[in-house]
Every structure is written in C-alpha cells, then in structure tokens.
Amino acid sequence: MGQTIINTSCPRDCFSACDIKAYVEDGKIVKIEGGSKNRATNSKLCIKGLSYTDYVYSPQRIGYPMIREGKRGEGIFKRISWETAIDEISKRLKLVKDTVGPLGLLHFTSAGCMGLMSEYYKGFFNQFGSYSATKGSLCYSAGIEAVKLTYGSNIQNAPWDLEHAGLIIIWGKNPSSTNVQELKFINEAVNKGAKIITIDPINTLPSLNSNLHIPIKPGTDGVLALCIANLLIQKGSIDIDFIKEYTFGFDEFKEHVSHYTIEYASKICGLNEDLINEAVNLIANKKPMTLICGYGMQRYKNGGQNVRAISMIPALTGDIGIRGGGFKFANKRWRNLEWPYIPQNDIKTRRDFAEAQLGRAIEEYQNPNIKLLWIERANPLTMNPDTNGLKRALKKVEYIVAIDLFMTDTAKYADIILPAQSFFEYEDVFSSYWTPYLNCFQKVIEPVNESKNESEIYRLLGKKMGYNMNYLPLYNEETIDVCLKKCNINVSVKDLKKGPYLKENSDIAYKERIFDTPSKKIEFYCERMESIWGKSPLPDFKDCFKGTEENGKYPLRLLSTHARERIHSQFGEIRASKLSSDKPLLYINKEDARMRNIKDGDKIEIYNEKGKIFAFAKIDPYIIEGVVNIHGGLKEDTAANVNILTDQDISDIAFGAVFYDCFVEASWYQNK
Ligand code: SF4
C-alpha cells in the first residue's frame, strides 16, 4: 500500500488549532507536517505537533484496561479485559448510588483535547443522578469572566489582522513559547513600522523585537493599567466620541483612576516612572493599537480585576471594532458549540466546587463524602495546586477511575485505568481560542491497541446500567452533523474535512459595536461585578498590596510559565520534553543568585511551608529580582513539580486557580 495524506487539525489546549497533514503508510502515521488551509497557522507546527508520531506510538502509552495491584501511587497494575473493566465500574457506580446517592460521585475533567465530544459524559452522568462536579478552571476562567463582564463576550480580531497594527502591547504573553504562529503576524506588523511594548516580569523583548520592555512586579498589572488610563485621560489622549457612544461608567472610572498616580504605580509595580511615561506616549501616538493579554495576570487572587483593568485601555483609546486594533484575550466565536444530548433531570441539585480546590473538596465534603472519583482528560496530581494536599485527599477516596493515554501521576492513584484514544483515532469538531475558525479532526488511523474513545466507554457502561441510549448516541460523522445542526451551526463535517470554516465578517471583532452587556456598552463600571461576585464595580487594587513588601521567610515569587515542549503535563513522552525534564531549570535573577551564593548550573532546593522541589539554577538576565520561574507540568519523578509549592486558593471571580500567588525560598542544595 502506498502513502496517503490525511488532513486533520490539532485540538490540544493551545491557542493555534493548527492544520495538520498526516502521512499514513500501512495504517500507521509515518510523518506529520503543517497544512496550509488555516490562514492563522499557515503550515507551521510547533515542536509538539511535529512530534506526534513519538506521542501516538510511544511505548509508554496505556494499551489496555488495568486494575491496580500495588499501593496508590506505586504504578503497579494488572491488565484486564474491557468486559471485566465495565463490569467492575458499573458495580462500583451502583454501590455509590445505592449507599450514599449520586452526589458521592465526583466527576473531574480538565483540558485534554478540545471538542464537542468532550461533554459527552453529561449524557451518562445526568442519568446517574445529581453527581458532584467542578466549576471554574485551572486556566482562564477569571479572565474570560472579566472580559465578558466588560465587553459582553470574548471575541477578538483575527490573528492576521495584527499586521495592520501601529502599536502592539504584549502584556504577559510569550508567543515564542505558547503561540509560535503569532510571531509571523507580529513580525509583519513590525516590518510595516509597528512598535512593540512588552509588559512582563520576564523580559521577552529579545524574541519579540520589542521597542520597550516594562519589567513589572508580578500581580500588580491592574495598578499599572489604571495608572496608564489615568495618564491617558490627563493627556487628553483618549477617544472621547467613542467613549460617549460605546462605553458605560466613564465619569466614575475617571474619578477612580485619578487616585492611581504615576508615583503610586511606580512604587507598587516596581517601575521607573520614565518607563511608564514612555509607554503612555507610545499609546497616545501610535495607532491603531492592539493589546494582547496573556493568561498569567489572572493567576492571582486579584486576577479578574487585573484583566478587567487591562481590557479597558483599548476602549479608552477607541481601538475597538477597527482594523489593526482591539483587545485580545480569547476568541470564543463558537461558544454555541455544545454537546446537545443531555437529559436535564436532577442537575439542579448538583454539588460543584472550584476545579483548583479538588483536594479541599474531597477532604471537606460531607453528607455524602466523595466515594468515587472519575477523572478524564485531566492530571490533577501534576496540574492542580497543592499536590501533597491532593495526594492526602486521594488516599481517602474509596474508588478512582482514570481514563488516559499515559500513566500520569494521577493515573498511578487510580483503582482502574481505561486506555484513551489520541485525536488521530476518532473525529470531532472544535474551535480554537485564538482564531475565528471552526475546525474538525478526523480519524487517521485505527485505535492503537485496545484504546477506546470516551463515547464508547459511556455507551458500554450505559448499556450495562440500563440507561436511555438516546442520550448516548453512536459517535460518528452523522451524529456530529446532527449536533452541529442542533447547535445552529450551518456547516457539515464533510465541509470541515476539506478545511477549517470561517464565518463571513469574522476578521474584526465588535465591528458593529454591539456589546452584550446590560448597558449594551463596554462597561468601565460593571454592576454585575458586585451583584454576581461581590467585588467592586470598578477595578480596585488599593487593598491588595498592603503589607506584601515583606514576605518574610519566603521572599521569592514563584512563577510557573508554560514550556515550549509541553502543554501542561502533556507531551512528556516526546524527545524535546524528556531533555528538559531530565534537568529542570530554576530561572533566577543574577542578584538573587548572588545573595544566596548560587551559581549557574548548581542544584537548588526551592521550598516553602508546603514542601520542597529541586532544580538546576539558570542565572537569567531576563527575569526581575525577587521572582523565580520553573516551567509547570513536570511529573513527580522529576522532583520539580511546582504544584508541590502552590496553594488551593481561588481568584476574585469565576473560581480560577491562583498559581502565581506563591512565595518560596531557594538555596544551594547540599546532598547530605
Ligand atoms: S500544540 Fe498548538 S501549536 Fe502545536 S501543533 Fe498543536 S495546535 Fe499547533
């Protein structure tokens, strides 16, 4: 048999949703290349995408259902048949329901692959009864809610529109690690004369051709945003016609930000006043402006207000709804893409808790407590905060089911593991949160070993438990087409297989100046911040930083940014990832290292009251004093999982994780 090329797309929890060409020979993928049908990604894949053959055919992949034979966490399992697995799980489900009721089951899911199908489980568990579940997210829930409250929705100009910008502010995002395809559009804008401002405690200036770098103290972003707003208003560098016509609460906002003086911002944000003035001058003079907001600023207890404050700058300057302008956080143009086969019974009494507080929920929930934990598309023991707290909690759960492709730290705690499929082994539709496209991925190869798609697992269990199979339909192209219709999306899978689909007029967000807020305007003053979340209707930070100058025993702020070669804890199996996990690095400023007698390459212990991890010092000229950084997503056996040190607190709004509110000390490691 010769070689065939099959077009598909990458549905990982990543900005890009790349178009992919999979080369298949004798039923196996032999090569992966970027496809050219997606204008945003344009044939360019990242190192992870190029490594998919390593990933799909990794010898570490779980091939069969398995039950635990060793202690929790030891990773000793025995292969069983699917029949035995389904039998065993259905007995456990019935036992929980009969003894403590459906609330004794906790369903936990996070961000594995994206797609319509990721909600298939609701057709099963809503028949099981009012089970326990999660809300919020480890990733961007605080920011999404902040932008929605301010603008009424989360949409943004198409990636290729960036080339028309005169000024690009990249606030807390490093596309060279997390969104490589965006660099092309940034460079095109620069070649046409655009200026770049980067605002980040880690200096991304070299990779982004930045003209001005603002090395801000982590978590103080909202203060800087309000100070910039204040200075723009004072200078008269705002679009007063736009403000009058399309915004709400400007007078209150103007009075409020007048207290955020340059002296105050300079002190709180650790910045030279000249830098702030320089940024304001660029904003006042270079048009149009696009402000790209990364996801780090919401990972603090004041995260929602941080993002709200930042999002208001383009509204002040009238850069919304125009070519080359806008505020970019997430593109949720296809928010109506939802799994429609969901029975509605019992869900009103469902018990839910913040995803970031899984450990606490297991420890604290009574009547009933959590008897059975079901985990799919997630690896909380690596990715949730407070790993040790979560481990203690997991040991108390009677039964854990995990569905995964790999033996993650979490899977090692399961009682039964079911082998999942990679996205090359089934089909689905999805949208990315960066581009305006609707995409599909299709079945490229037959399932590897005995892996099954989640829908098949739920169908097998549904039959066994006598559930209504109308809510658990056979998952194939026909069903997806029906789903698309039910979601009012007028395109078929057949069309999507030819290439990603773009709605007309989706290049410029808010072109019609329609804002889905109660005032029908962009809300500087947002009453729902108070009525929904009990927070100030104007972004306020005056109480956030009192007494934080001295962090006592743990003076270093620990960040855990994303590594280029991983998405969260995924892709640990590819070669590039193995290299970095063999020698995890702690990025530390020269002065912080000197004060601790740490030299480049030294083995370092990083600790706080929650625990201790180890890494090798990388003296980094691009990170500010008082801040250290280790890439997140490293497994337990690397001894460098940052979440040993993080806490289960949540953000001001929308139940987000606050990974960056984490303080540590670091010292040279003496192997005693
Ligand atoms: S992980 Fe992201 S950048 Fe890499 S191939 Fe997939 S969608 Fe593209």
Please tell me the residue having the least CA distance from ligand 1 atom 8. 18
**Across 14-30, average pLDDT:** 96
Q: Which residues contact 472 (CB under 8 A, 6 or more apart)?
A: 120, 123, 124, 341, 455, 458, 459, 462
pLDDT given at position 503: 85
For residue 246, the CA-to-ligand 1 centroid distance in Å is 36
Q: How far is the CA of 45 from the centre of ligand 1 (A)?
A: 6
Whole-number Cα distances in Å, 428 to 39, 62, 116, 231? 21, 22, 7, 48
Q: Summarize the confidence of residues 72-90 as an average pLDDT.
A: 97
Cα(390) to centroid of ligand 1, in Å? 30
Q: Is the pLDDT of residue 86 over 90?
A: yes
Mutual orientation of helices 82-99 and 454-464 as an angle, nearest 10°? 60
Q: What atom of ligand 1 comes closest to residue 34's alpha carbon?
A: 5
Distance from the Cα of residue 197 to its chain's centroid: 24
- pLDDT for 344 beyond 90: no
Using DSSP's 3-state secondary structure scheme, residue 488 falls into coil
Provide the pLDDT confidence category of residue 434 given band limits of 50, 70 and 90.
Answer: very high
pLDDT for res 348: 66
| Region 451-468 average pLDDT | 97
Nearest to 586 by CA among 485, 667, 506, 670: 667
- pLDDT attached to residue 370: 96
Specify the ligand 1 atom closest to the Cα of 46. Answer: 4
Mean pLDDT computed over 92-112: 95
Residue whose CB lies within 8 A of the most ligand 1 atoms, among 19, 46, 113, for a mutation test:
46
Confidence of residue 575 (pLDDT cuts 50, 70, 90): confident
Ordered by where they begin, the domains of the chain are 3-56 (2.20.25.90), 66-139+345-498 (3.40.50.740), 157-329+510-533 (3.40.228.10), 556-668 (2.40.40.20)
Q: Rounded to whole angstroms, how far apart are CA atoms 619 and 621?
A: 7
Average pLDDT in the chain: 94
Which of 336-345, 354-363, 659-668 comes out lowest in average pLDDT? 336-345
CA-nearest residue, atom 3 of ligand 1: 46
- 36 Cα–ligand 1 center, Å: 14
| pLDDT tens by residue, 520-530 | 999 999 999 99
pLDDT digits (tens, 9 = 90+) for 271-303: 999 999 999 999 999 999 999 999 999 999 999
pLDDT given at position 640: 97
Instruction: Extract the tokens encoding 267.
Output: 């002190």
- The structure tokens listed for 520 are 């029908």
pLDDT band, residue 365 (cuts 50/70/90): confident
Tokens representing 576?
């590039």
Band of the pLDDT at 650, cuts 50, 70, 90? very high
Mean pLDDT for the stretch of residues 432-451: 96
**What's the pLDDT at 208?**
67
Q: Where does the pLDDT of residue 44 fall: very low under 50, low under 70, confident under 90, or very high at 90 and above?
A: confident
Protein residue whose Cα sits closest to atom 7 of ligand 1: 17
Structure confidence at residue 504 (pLDDT): 83
pLDDT, one tens digit per residue, over 108-127 is: 998 878 899 999 999 999 99
Q: What's the Cα-to-Cα distance from 52 to each of 47, 329, 526, 576, 658, rounded to whole Å? A: 9, 28, 45, 12, 31
Pairing of strands 556-559, 627-629: parallel
Pocket test for ligand 1, best of 7, 8, 9, 14 (most atoms within 8 A of CB): 14
The closest of 402, 375, 458, 462 to 66, measured between CA atoms, is 402
The predicted complex's ipTM stands at: 0.99
Look at residue 261 in the predicted model and tell me its pLDDT. 98
Residue where the block lists tokens 């008082």 = 626
Cα angle for residues 356, 360, 361 (degrees, 5° grid): 90
pLDDT of residue 509: 97
Which residue minimizes the CA distance to atom 5 of ligand 1?
Answer: 49
Rounded to an integer, the average pLDDT of 310-333 is: 97
DSSP string, 503-558: -TT-SSTTTT----STTSSEESS-HHHHHHH---SS---TTTTTT-S--TT--EEE
Is the pLDDT score of 347 beyond 80? no
Q: What pLDDT band is residue 45 in, cutting at 50, 70 and 90?
A: very high
User: Mean pLDDT, to the nearest integer, of 445-471?
Assistant: 97
Instruction: Please tell me the predicted confidence (pLDDT) of residue 549.
Output: 54
> Of all atoms in ligand 1, which is nearest to the CA of residue 15?
2
Please provide the DSSP assignment of 247-260 as one string: EE-HHHHHHHHTTS
For ligand 1, pick from 7, 9, 10 the residue to mutate: most ligand atoms within 8 Å of CB.
10
Name the residue with higher pLDDT: 426 or 503: 426
Q: Average pLDDT in the 473-493 region?
A: 95
Q: Give the whole-angstrom CA distance, residue 103 versus residue 131.
A: 4
Give the per-residue pLDDT at 227: 98
**pLDDT at 546 (0 to 100):** 65
**Mean pLDDT of all residues in 77-96:** 98
pLDDT (mean) for 435-463: 97
pLDDT confidence tier of residue 552, bands split at 50, 70 and 90: confident
Q: Which atom, in ligand 1's list, is nearest to the CA of 432? A: 7
Q: Distance from the CA of 14 to the center of ligand 1, in angstroms?
A: 6
* Residue from 16, 55, 433 to probe ligand 1 pocket by mutation (most atoms less than 8 Å from CB): 16
Torsion sign across C-alpha atoms 256, 259, 261, 263: negative
pLDDT of 543 higher than 90: no
Question: How confident is the model at residue 205, as a pLDDT?
Answer: 61
On whether the CB atoms of residues 430 and 115 are closer than 8 A, the answer is yes
The alpha carbon of 13 and the centre of ligand 1 are apart by a number of angstroms equal to 9
pLDDT higher than threshold 80 for residue 670: no
Ligand 1: centre distance to CA 472 (Å): 30
Ligand 1 pocket, Cβ-based, cut-off 6 angstroms: 10, 12, 14, 16-18, 45-46, 48-49
